[in-house]
Amino acid sequence: MADEQQHHHHHHHHKKDGASRFKERSLNAIVFRRKFEKWLKIALIIIALLMLAAVIYVYLLG
């Protein structure tokens, strides 16, 4: 009887573990999105600098 109760408690803990795993996954998604946005900004800055360099290069040649 006690063993069955223990098993039931373990099942409840597993459900809680699933919820915490979901929370962890959503937190990881937030962290990933922040990193992605940071890298996207860096990429856009690099592209802007390359375009600026190309404009200056063409301007100096012209």
Amino acid identity for residue 52 in this structure: L
Q: Report the sign of the C-alpha dihedral through residues 12, 18, 22, 24, in that order.
A: positive
DSSP 1: -
Residues 37 and 35: their CA atoms lie apart, in Å, by 5
Confidence of residue 17 (pLDDT cuts 50, 70, 90): confident
For 28-62, the pLDDT digits (tens) are 999 999 999 999 999 999 999 999 999 999 999 98
Q: What is the pLDDT of residue 32?
A: 95
CA–chain centroid gap for 16, Å, is 23
Its pTM stands at: 0.53
What does each C-alpha distance from 62 to 29, 57, 58, 59 come to in angstroms? 48, 8, 6, 5
Amino acid identity for residue 5 in this structure: Q
Q: What is the pLDDT of residue 15?
A: 65
